[in-house]
Each structure stands twice: as structure tokens, then as C-alpha cells.
Amino acid sequence: MLRVGSKAACMACRNLVSTNMGVRFRVPLQKLHPLSRAIHHRYSSNPNPQRAPHRTAARYFTSMSRLPMRPPKPPPGSGGRGHQQQRNFWVARLAVRLLKLRYILLGSAVGGGYTAKKTYDEWKDMLPDFSEYNWVIPDFVWELSEQIDLDKLAKALPEIEEIAKLLPDLDKIGENFTFIKSLLSSGVSLGSEVKGASGLHLLLETSGDPPLKATDTSAAATQDGNDKQYKKSSDRERVDQLQEELLRTQLKYQRMLERLEKENKELRKVVLQKDDKGIHRRKVKKSLIDLYSEVLDILSDYDSNYNTQDHLPRVVVVGDQSAGKTSVLEMVAQARIFPRGSGEMMTRSPVKVTLSEGPHHVAMFKDSGREFDLSKEEDLAALRHEIELRMRKSVKEGQTVSTETISLSVKGPGIQRMVLVDLPGVISTVTAGMAADTKETIFSISKAYMQNPNAIILCIQDGSVDAERSIVTDLVSQMDPQGKRTIFVLTKVDLAEKNLASPSRIQQIVEGKLFPMKALGYFAVVTGRGSSSESIDSIKDYEEDFFQNSRLLRDGMLKAHQVTTKNLSLAVSDCFWKMVRESVEQQADVFKASRFNLETEWKNNYPRLRELDRNELYEKAKNEILDEVISLSQVTPQHWESMLQKKLWERVSTHVIENIYLPAAQTMDSGTFNTTVDIKLKQWTDKQLPHKALEIAWETLQEEFARFMAEYKGKDQDDIFDKLKEAVKDESIKRHKWNERAMDSLRVIQHNALEDRSITDKPQWDAAIGFMEETLQSRLKDTESVIRDMVGPDWKQRWLNWKNRTPDQHIRNETKNELERLLKLHDDHTAYLANDEVTTVRKNLEGRGVEVDPVLIKDTWHQLYRRHFLQNALSHCNLCKRGFYYYQRHFVDSELECNDVVLFWRIQRMLVITANTLRQQLTNTEVRRLEKNVKEVLDDFGEDQERKSHLITGRRVQLAEDLKKVREIQEKLEAFIEALHKEK
């Protein structure tokens, strides 16, 4: 501590500084770095009380330690011969003395200059090296220094006289110093009296010096008279008065610094908001803490297969539920950014907060580009709501807390640079509404973060409750038994002072004597009156007022550097950066070794493949799928129509034969046949046919899409995409909706096609005959196959293949033989058996010892009659091949009637027209809509990392992912280390 004026802090400093410099200033001791206190060197103390202080300073700092020696006088009785000799050679003696005086002056000048230079160098060496603290000033300040008009800034600053008025009365403080030093020199120990003011205690007892005691009995006797003039009560009052003066000085400087910070913030806003005529905007390079935060974000997503653990430092905030963790973080961040609740668990997942200094007080999420202006209440409310939504979204169903980390960055003027992780509060009991494993999950999350050997543990303890109820202290003691990286924070000290009967209990806590837990430092803070509507500024004012008036600080139970969240943030930031500098290079070497191992494995297993990570592989698969979809537009119209016509007839042929043709063919004349056909075709067209046609078209499109994706595989096709392509195909088809308006227009087209009965030429007639014959033969083949399955193998199969009939097949075979005899007798029998005929058949079978059910007789008859009818229809079809001439004459004067051929021609023409209509809709509309759906599905899959990791899997993919992550981490760490070295 250096003070300029007539009363300096030490005698050495008084002799080095002029006494008439005009202004006196003093910085509170607790605001200085410990190195700054070293300026009070060993010469400020006076180990020998008998020697005057100015002699010591003069002996050390003057250019000559003694005056020149005079020649000795002649002894008495010498006879005066010497005097005679001197009188005879006075000219020579005068010349000698003049020459001697010249050498004395010259030597004095040289020696004095050398001594002064040496003294200056020694004094300069004792000053601390402030270049190590350049990192305290952010980068943008150095950049602004080149752009700010210093003359205008100097004019805006207050005058020296105005600043002097704000300073305390240093003369009065000097008198108090003199009084205390006089007491100490007499052997009176005031260590216990002034221990509460840590700055004053360090000033009076410098490191390395023994306590001041009386060493001379005569000096002690001299001071006895002075000691009797002061009573013990007056001594204590003087010490209390001195402590209050120091606290007031500190508060004045804090307010002055806050005012200057606000002015600096406004000045930077003006500079950054200059238009093109002034200072241009430019891209500000990333700060040191932002580089470090990016490394931590990458590490949080990195799953290593080589057991490379994340041991990079961060500040882990742990504490019991409702102990004030979130409030402490908000005071450090200088904004109410977290959601709050009364006794309710609000922190449901870890929240990583990167604090850095910046011109504007803003917050931003890692995965979002929106900036929240923390100076606006509506943005603060929106930020709290967004954090709460992200927490609830990260919690899986049936759980209460989540391990997923929410990454948030906060920038603002005066904020200390560090990375903090707020963890869910530790609980002792699981309450209603919580998952059964909530307590164990919170413990596991806390241990996972605290077991990092380089993590700084910020242990938050509620001061308003009994210390024995705390759970977190035992947990912290397990993870850091020696307390080498733990900082203990006692919150709600105002409530603790009010409620505790013995305030000394607080002193035991902050001195580390009450808990078995050890820590680097202990702090006591106040985070407001407990109202969620309080602002940060009001909480700061309340905290300052409390500690200024608290007897805990006044009585020395708490030290000045142990209180307020501002001192806490400074200490945590210093500890954080110290840990970073000690461990970051070691972690970079670890990831360098991990990168070598991964690259070696890739070269050995996949020497001819590129190192494509999951995102790059997905882009490659996306391009292949889009190429396959585009190939659908290259399908020829003939191919579409032939496929549609074939699939449509396969789907509707059963209905046409069973429900239209067979019932109409049972009629006796052509008029009834045509009427029945028209009615059934009309019903079919109105209800089923259009819907069936659209289904066929959609299925055809799916099959062609799947065929193209399957046929695209070649020598360059990667099997790793199969699962992804199948998922894209299924999802695209699921999302595709056919145009419903096409059904109405298709119904009209089909109805018109079926209404047309005019066959214009012989080729159309032959085509209808061929279509009918092909259809009937196919149905006859199917019917014979059904009959064979009913009756079992015939005698050839039984002899050649060693097969036997089952009892049921034997019964059906006997029934078939009996019914075939009936058909031979009645070739024009109707399609249904009469009841008496069923009885006759059953009795005939019983006569041969075969018990048969009437239902079985009817089922067998249905298949036998169907075969009989189809055989007759094929015979009739052969006759109609030459019936086109009779058709043109409307079968007048002809026994041949070919109305069934006309029916099949109408069906065939409807199939052709329907296929053509569907083909046009496919090529003009649906293929494009499917391509659009595929693109949307690919875009959605591309944004869903979890789905991509599920669809693109394998060791090759995971190895490429690890390689990419490790390289990125190593590059980020190297960039960070380079920036860290530059900042030093």
C-alpha cells in the first residue's frame, strides 16, 4: 500500500516520495492483490527502537554514508614545528587541497549518481510485475484505447480537488496509526483487537517479521506513562472507529468503481453504435473464455471409446435444495436469469453458464441465435421461461431430473470470466410427485461433475438452518477430502445472525472449525430478503448495508475479504484461471494421444475409405435418395399403364366374375342378362371401383419407388445406408396423401366407359374374346386346384408319392363323385342344390357307409358347379369367336348370343381408360408430390440427431465421429492455449 503525503506508510516510502505532491490517495487493502502488499518492504519496520527512523532511511538511501574525515590536531607540547612548516608551504598545501576538493566533488557526483541509480533499481525491483494481470482487462478495452479520444475523456473526468473531497481524512488515520504503533512498540498486543480488519492487520504485521515487542527496559519504562493515559475501553473504541473508517473507504471506492463501470458501458455503446461516418463495426474476435466454453460444449457431447475423460476445470455449484445456489449464481451473473419457486425443485438439469465481460448485458443459448437483453424485464422473463421449458423438455417421462446439460452464456460489464455449472439441489427425502430414484440420480450427477480432479467445487450452505442438517458437506468431503479445490459459501447470513443465539457459531463455520470438510476459502454472503421481485442492485445495496452494520464484521468474527458476493466472484475467478493454467496443457496432451490411437485404428480397418462422420454420410445418402426419386419421372407411360391395368384387373377380377358375370349368366335370356349386368356395374362403379383404382395407383407408385431404390445399388453403393433408405421410404409413403378430388372425376370416366357397348371392329371383338378366354381359364385352373385340395391326392399321386387321403378328404371325395353323377344327369342344372337333392345325396352316401354333413355337400357342390360352368363358358367362348357378324346384326335370326363377350369388352375398355387416367395423375402430380415429401422427410431426419444416430450406425461411423470430435477438441484446446499464452 502506497500513500503520498507527509505521513507515508513506511519510512522508506517517505524518503522516496516528495512531500508536496498535492493529493493524497489510498486504496483499500482488501481490494489490492497480495503482491501489492509486498511493497511495504523490510525497511518499513524499525527493529531497533533506540535509533531514529530518519537515520535508518538516510543510511540506506543517501549517496554518502559519512562525511570526510578531518586531519587530527597536533598533540599539545609538539613545539609548533608543524605549524611553522605549514606556514612555509601554504601555497603547495593550497594547491593540494584544491586538487583534493576537485576529486572529492567528482567522486561524490559519480558515487551519488551510481547510488541513486542503484537505489532506484532496487526500489523498482520491489514493485510487483503487473504485466501478469493484463488478462484482467478484456480485449475490447485495448481495441477501444486506439479509438477513444483521450482529450475528451480527460475533460469529462472530475477534477483532482473533487476526488480529494471523496477521500477519507488521512491525517486522522495517520494519527490512529501512530497511536497504535506506539502501543505495539510498548509490547501491548492488539492482534486480537484489530484482527477483524484484515488489511490493517497485514499492515501492522508484515509477513516474515516477528511480532513487535519491547526490547529495551528503558524504552518500556518510557512508554509506561503513555499506557496509563489510555484505558482499555478507549482503545477498543479507537480500533472500532478505525475499522469503520476502513469499511467506509472501501464502500466509497466500490461505488466509484460502479459509477465508472456504468459510464464505461455507456461509452462503449456509443462507440459500437457509430454510423459509417464514425467508427465502423467490425467482427470482434472470440474472447478467451468463449474459446474455453466451446471446448467444454464439444466435450459434453463426446462419447469416448478410449476412456478419455473430461478433466478440464469448471466451477461446479452444489448445495442442498433451497440453499441459495441459484441466488449466488445470479449475483455473480448480475441478473435474475433462473426460474424460481417457493420450496419447489426448480433446477432439474445441469446448467452450464459461461460468464464473460462485454459491453452489453446479454444472454444467449448455445444452440440459439437470439440474444436476451438482461436490462429489460420482459427479456428476463422470457429467458427464465425458456430455461424452464428446456429443463422440462430434457426430463424424460417418469423422471424428475435429467443429465442433459443446458448451455448458456452471459456477457456484461464487470462480470468475472469463468464457467459455472449449476446442479440440481441435493435432497434427503423423495416427496410426492418425484420419481423413486430422484435422490440417487441427483447424487450420481453431482459426483460425476465433482470427481473431475480439476473441477472447483463451490459448496453452498444455508446459514439460516442448523448446520447439522446439511447433506452436501458430507458429499463434498468424500469427493475432495483435503479441500484443495473446494470453496465454501455460507448464504443467508442476515437470517443466521438474527436467529442464532451464539453468533460465534458463524465464525466457527467460516473458519472451517465446525465441519470436518476442508476448503480453500470460506465466504459469507447475503442474497437478498427472499423476494423474487428484488433487483440485483437492491440486493447489492442490502448486502453492503448489512455487512457495514453487522457486528459479525465489527467484532472480528468475519474478515472483510470473506464477505459480499463481489469478493466471492473475484476469488472464484482467480482460482478458476489458476486451475486452467495448471491443467489445460496436460489435457491437450491426453487428447493428442487419443487422436493418434483413433487414426491408427482407422488406417488398419478402413484404409481405402474416407473419414466421413455421421452428418457427412447422411448428406451422401440424401443425394442418392433424391437421385432415385428423380428416376421415377423417367418411367415410360406404357410401363405405367401396363402395370396399372394388370394390377387393377388382379384386384377386381374376383368381384367381376363372382358378383357380376356368374349371377347374370344364370338368367334364361339375353335381356335379363344385360339388365343384371348394367345394374351391378352401376353399383360397383358408384361404391368400390374408383376407390380400388386409387389404391392400385398408390401401391404401384410405392412399388416403383422401392424398385428404383433397390436397383440403384451397385459397386459404389454403401450398405450402411440401407436402414436409412428404408425409413425414408416408409415415412414418405406414410405422409403422402392422394388427391381426393381425383376420385370423383375418375368415377365419371369409369361410368362412361362401362356404358359403352359398341364394338367397332373385328380386332376389338377378338381382343375381348381373348381377354374372356384368358380370364375363364385362369378361374378354371384356380377352381380345379381348390377341388384337388378338398379331395386329396388321386391314385397316381398316392402310388408315386406315397401320399394318403385324410378322413375329411375321403368324405369330400365320395361327395364329389356323387355330385358329379348328378351333374351328368342334369347338364343344365342351376347354381344351387335343392333341399331334396341334398337329402338324396346324403342318403346315397350313408348307404355306402359315409356320414356327411349337408353343409359339406353344399360347399362341394359350389366348387363342382363352378368348374362345370367355367368349362361350358369356355366352350361358348370358342363358339363366339366367329360371332362378330351376328353381333353387328344384334343377333337377329341367330341362336348364338354373345352378350358375355360384350361384357368382357366393356370391362377391358374400362381397365384401359382407368389405367391411362391414373398414369396421367401419377406422372403429372403424384410423383412430384412424392419427391417433395421425400425432401421434407430428409430435412426432418437431418435435424433429428437421435434418429440419425439410430439409422446410420456401425463401428465405422462411430470411429469417424470420435476422430472428428477429438480433432476438433485438440484444435480448440491448442487455439485456447495459444491465446492464453498471449494474454500472459
Listing DSSP states for 671-690 in one string gives HHHHHHHHHHHHHHHHHTHH
CA nearest to 841, candidates 867, 870, 811, 863: 811
Task: Tell me the three cell numbers of residue 170.
Answer: 488521512
Q: Is 818 helix (H, G, I), strand (E, B) or coil?
A: helix
Grid coordinates representing 540?
Answer: 447489492
Percentage of the chain modeled with pLDDT above 90 = 11
CA distance readout (Å), 545 to 63, 531, 957: 52, 17, 60
321-362 pLDDT tens trace? 888 888 898 888 888 888 876 556 678 889 999 998 888 889
> Which DSSP category does 932 fall into?
H
pLDDT at 46 over 50: no
- Cβ-in-10-Å burial (0-12, 13-18, 19+) of 608 comes to exposed
Amino acid of residue 772: M
What is the band of 101 on the pLDDT scale with cuts at 50, 70, 90? Answer: low
**Average pLDDT of span 908-931:** 90
Q: Which residues pair with 523 in a beta bridge?
A: 489
| CA 698 – CA 73 distance, rounded (Å) | 135
- How far apart, in whole angstroms, are the C-alpha atoms of residue 345 and residue 422? 13
Calpha distance 717→425 (Å, rounded): 52
User: 604-631, pLDDT tens digit by residue?
Assistant: 998 888 888 888 899 988 888 888 888 8
Contacts of 587 (CB under 8 A, 6+ apart): 311, 312, 973
Per the CB < 8 A criterion, the answer to whether 325 and 351 are in contact is no
Tell me the C-alpha distance between 877 and 699, whole Å.
33
Comparing 502 with 936, the larger pLDDT belongs to 936
Q: Stretch 516-544: mean pLDDT, rounded?
A: 85
Order of all β-strands in the sheet with 418-422: 372-373, 362-365, 406-412, 351-357, 418-422, 315-319, 456-462, 486-491, 521-524
Say if residues 164 and 521 touch (Cβ distance below 8 Å).
no
Per-residue model confidence (pLDDT) at position 910: 93
On whether the CB atoms of residues 355 and 332 are closer than 8 A, the answer is yes
Higher pLDDT, 138 or 57: 138
CB 6 within 8 A of CB 19: yes
Mean pLDDT of 684-713: 84
Judged on CB neighbours under 10 Å (0-12, 13-18, 19+), 465 is middle
Query: What is the per-residue pLDDT across 856-915, written as a single tens digit (0 to 9) for each?
Result: 888 989 888 889 989 988 998 888 888 887 777 776 656 677 888 889 999 999 999 999
Summarised one tens digit per residue, pLDDT across range 577-607 is 999 888 888 888 888 888 899 999 999 998 8
Q: What is the pLDDT of residue 587?
A: 85
Grid cell, residue 215, equals 526490547
- pLDDT at residue number 317: 93
**What's the confidence (pLDDT) of residue 266?**
66
The answer on pLDDT for 559 being more than 50 is: yes
Bridge partners of 940? none
Q: Using 50, 70 and 90 to split pLDDT, how confident is the model at 927?
A: confident
Supply the mean pLDDT for the chain.
75
848 with 810: CB under 8 angstroms? no
Going by pLDDT thresholds of 50, 70 and 90, the confidence category of residue 644 is very high
Which range has the top average pLDDT, 131-145, 209-223, 548-562, 599-613? 599-613
Rg (alpha carbons) of the chain, rounded to whole number: 51
pLDDT at residue 530 in the model: 74
The confidence score (pLDDT) of residue 148 equals 58
According to the model, what pLDDT value does residue 293 have? 83
Residue type at position 928 = R
For residues 437, 443, 444 and 446, what is the CA-based torsion angle, rounded to 10 degrees?
Answer: 140
User: Using one digit for the tens of pLDDT, what is the confidence trace for 159-210?
Assistant: 656 655 555 555 655 555 555 555 444 443 333 333 333 332 332 233 333 3
CA nearest to 298, candidates 958, 971, 959, 947: 971
Q: Backbone phi, then psi, for 430, in 5-degree steps? A: -85, 120
What number is the average pLDDT over the span 842-851? 87
- How big is the CA angle at 901 (ends 896 and 902), to the nearest 5 degrees? 105
The DSSP annotation for 99-110 comes to HHHHHHHHHHHH
Query: CA-to-CA distance for 676 and 181, rounded, in angstroms?
Result: 129
